Chains A and B, each alone.
Chain A
């Protein structure tokens, strides 16, 4: 155990640093959270206890709420971690959320299909967008930024075209499956459960599989990966397809939670996704990063948005604070712990003299 801990502290310093940021933020959230007026009864796994003036932030309903609200972005961030690890970027995920959401709503409401059909079709639509991205990047050898910038614009257009610039509401129509879908797929246990399962799956994919190893190798040194005979094109295609698929999943959850197939959904979502990945310690240069880090990054963003909301901070001020946190989180990763202790010793030395 001690061996494992020292190994973790020395070899996964990036994760340790993200965890420190998360812990600090969590503490701040608890301290600055408004309190409940009366008593609050905790009900956790059958155990219940009643407390007074409990921080609203720590209420179970609030914690699960913040997880659900941020799940779509967090889910896409899992795939984006792989894309960024290869040294690429995917700007089209926001548009893909919209495409998936409108496909899902159209099928449910207008085609009266079953819930399963609509969901699978939406995810396939997302996966296809990813396949187009990955295929073009691999075959044409054009920078991912440019290809996905183009698909970002194009897919947004496609999503609007599918629904003629209109929004499709799930409730109010005659479709029972649509109402059923909106009810089930917006439940906290379903959304948070899906995120946790996907996080574990993608963590294992990166840690234990050949694909994961290839992804890291290509991001570390693309030329060496080619010289080592890696199937670089297939890896690129796989990584972007997976990310597109996850954007499709996120679109399904967004559709269910908003009761709406909105073609303007997910505008600028790609930037939140990238922010989550970067806060999680994944380097935009490729080759360095982890799924665990991305999960931590998602929690950082989720907690921050939540605590600012609980305190009724102005939305524009929220954005400005978010910007600060992104920069601080990334700076915290670049400072080595050794440098901090050295600085501390120097500072102490200079004050005692």
Chain B
């Protein structure tokens, strides 16, 4: 089990010594009857980056939130510096120096960077009115610690990139003297470049003696920046390993109990029947995009954030007005003005942000799955409930959905299962063209494989699939072709089986994206 990772076998094992900064014993969290955490224990030392890994619903995010006071635990014995403490809300956590950086950032979009950082400390100011200069001064040291000193503290947060916003959130945590920072799936929305920057900041935090608890699914990240790894499964503690004494295979076994295949390819069901063709498409975010998708073909869209990957989907789904160019769907001209028109023409969009754009969080699993097909379940205005139950249960099995009950509120599900509900919604709809915007975002390995299987199945059934992903290996694994976008233009069009990550990256990042479309091999 403890086979050393190649190339690291000779390293000294780094085991932290001394007193842990934070210890957690017997942490349990119940949501109604669902046990999300069951008697979990954890030690975090100052100056270590500690990964929390686990499958869908394993409880890793829940544990992070409990430690940061975002969720009150059902039971927990916590100590900080050896002294017993009680953390029941974010304010308790803040006073004790524990902060969480959420996947969905909790910044005030319309306030400035300085205001966001100083917001918890405004009351320390002596005068009645806030001093913007004092706020900027307060914000600057924290900003420079996260490498954002080149930005004016007065910049409004909504004008920043997601990556910069995340760094602002970290700066805010630092300004409140955080000693333990929980990162909840922090890189899921970041480009590779931004990930590097975040890692540099985390590395600096480690040297400053801050304890970083890093909740993630991504294996490569764990081995790059983490010192120790704790694995949870089904809400229980499985084990902790020093990163240098374990390998991917062992972690996967700990997380899901069996090995996953990693060198798979797309099913190659592409037909020669063109289903969608886009010619010189121009929208607010696209300058000139032309591409074809055949029935049964899976086409990946690669590119940096802002290159126009998601914008292709927005244009296809009638969300962005089309400023120029033509689209043809199943041989007919296609120019949708609303999502409803697009849907009726057989186009489905799996949105990137499933909480903001996809799910009705207070509604049940079943209601969320059936919402787009209610017109076919409509009997003189009434919903055919039995047929609704049959269809949604069927699609639940098809996506290997794990939910307490079809009547369970969708917000009680883990991220991966929420995504499956959303995918199920569009499977029910039986569209011809599926645009999947980062379908595995914030989803763990087990659920990822399920989603890959669904994509493969769609291709087998002759559907056309356009897929965006921030992970290149995923595109190369799932797609027949990969189209690389660069600044709103098509930079390259590759056969996924005969290309490499390096080739794709080169075209995605090269500054001068020409109109050349090498049919490279």
- Interface residue ranges, A against B (CB under 8 Å): 10-11, 208-211, 213-214, 216-217, 220-221, 223-231, 287-288
B357 touches A224 (CB 8 A): yes
B364 to chain A, nearest CB (A): 10
Interface residues of chain A: helix, strand, loop or mixed (majority): helix
Given contacts A208-B383, A229-B339, contact A221 B360 (CB under 8 A): yes
Most chain B CB within 10 A, of A217, A226, A228, is at: A228
Chain A residues near B343 (CB-CB < 8 A): 229
Identify the stretch in B172-180, B323-331, B367-375, B481-489 within 8 Å (CB) of chain A at 4 or more residues. Answer: B367-375
A208 touches B372 (CB 8 A): no
Chain B residues near A288 (CB-CB < 8 A): 362
The CA of A135 and the CA of B114, in the complex, are separated in Å by: 42
* Residue from B319, B356, B378 within 8 A of A224 (CB atoms): B356
A228 touches B372 (CB 8 A): yes
Chain A residues near B317 (CB-CB < 8 A): 227
B360 touches A217 (CB 8 A): yes
Can you list 8 contacts pairing A with B, beta carbon distance less than 8 Å? A209-B381, A211-B381, A213-B371, A220-B361, A221-B360, A228-B339, A230-B340, A287-B363
Chain B residues near A221 (CB-CB < 8 A): 356, 359-361
Chain A residues near B382 (CB-CB < 8 A): 208-210
With an 8 A cutoff between CB atoms, is B406 at the interface? Answer: no
Given contacts A213-B367, A213-B371, A217-B371, contact A227 B357 (CB under 8 A): yes
* Residue from A210, A220, A223, A229 within 8 A of B363 (CB atoms): A220
A232 to chain B, nearest CB (A): 8
* Residue from A216, A224, A230, A231 within 8 A of B358 (CB atoms): A224
Chain A residues near B371 (CB-CB < 8 A): 213-214, 217, 225, 228, 230
The CA of A224 and the CA of B421, in the complex, are separated in Å by: 13
Number of B interface residues in the complex (CB < 8 A): 32
With an 8 A cutoff between CB atoms, is B135 at the interface? Answer: no
* Residue from A213, A229, A231 within 8 A of B383 (CB atoms): A213
Chain A residues near B222 (CB-CB < 8 A): none
A210 touches B374 (CB 8 A): yes
A103 to chain B, nearest CB (A): 29
With an 8 A cutoff between CB atoms, is B315 at the interface? Answer: no
A252 to chain B, nearest CB (A): 25
The CA of A226 and the CA of B351, in the complex, are separated in Å by: 11
Q: Could you list 10 further interchain pairs (A-B, Cβ under 8 angstroms) beyond the known A209-B382, A213-B367? A: A210-B374, A216-B363, A217-B367, A224-B356, A226-B339, A227-B317, A228-B339, A230-B340, A231-B340, A287-B363
A216 touches B340 (CB 8 A): no
* Residue from A210, A220, A231 within 8 A of B360 (CB atoms): A220
Which residue of A is nearest B317, CB measured?
A227
B340 touches A287 (CB 8 A): no
Chain A residues near B377 (CB-CB < 8 A): 210
Chain B residues near A211 (CB-CB < 8 A): 381
Chain A residues near B340 (CB-CB < 8 A): 229-231
B425 touches A228 (CB 8 A): yes
A133 to chain B, nearest CB (A): 22
The CA of A217 and the CA of B356, in the complex, are separated in Å by: 13
The CA of A18 and the CA of B425, in the complex, are separated in Å by: 34
B342 touches A229 (CB 8 A): yes
* Residue from A214, A223, A231 within 8 A of B356 (CB atoms): A223
Q: List residues 347-402 of chain B with CB under 8 A from any CB of chain A.
A: 349, 351, 356-363, 367, 371-372, 374-375, 377-378, 381-383, 385
A210 touches B383 (CB 8 A): yes
Given contacts A208-B382, A224-B357, A224-B359, contact A214 B342 (CB under 8 A): no
Chain A residues near B360 (CB-CB < 8 A): 216-217, 220-221, 224-225, 287
Chain B residues near A11 (CB-CB < 8 A): 407
The CA of A211 and the CA of B339, in the complex, are separated in Å by: 18
Given contacts A209-B383, A287-B362, contact A10 B32 (CB under 8 A): yes
A227 touches B349 (CB 8 A): yes
Chain B residues near A210 (CB-CB < 8 A): 374-375, 377-378, 381-383
For the complex of A and B, list the 5 residue pairs with the smallest distance between their C-beta atoms, beginning with the closest: A229-B343, A220-B360, A229-B340, A210-B374, A229-B339
The CA of A213 and the CA of B366, in the complex, are separated in Å by: 12
Which residue of A is nearest B378, CB measured?
A210
The CA of A226 and the CA of B372, in the complex, are separated in Å by: 10
The CA of A213 and the CA of B377, in the complex, are separated in Å by: 12
Q: List residues 288-327 of chain B with CB under 8 A from any CB of chain A.
A: 317, 319
The CA of A224 and the CA of B359, in the complex, are separated in Å by: 6
Chain B residues near A226 (CB-CB < 8 A): 338-339
Most chain A CB within 10 A, of B317, B319, B357, is at: B357
Given contacts A209-B382, A213-B383, A221-B361, contact A229 B356 (CB under 8 A): no
B151 to chain A, nearest CB (A): 29
The CA of A206 and the CA of B339, in the complex, are separated in Å by: 24
Chain B residues near A224 (CB-CB < 8 A): 351, 356-360
A348 to chain B, nearest CB (A): 20
B358 touches A214 (CB 8 A): no
Given contacts A209-B381, A217-B367, contact A227 B351 (CB under 8 A): yes
Chain A residues near B372 (CB-CB < 8 A): 228-230
The CA of A210 and the CA of B358, in the complex, are separated in Å by: 19
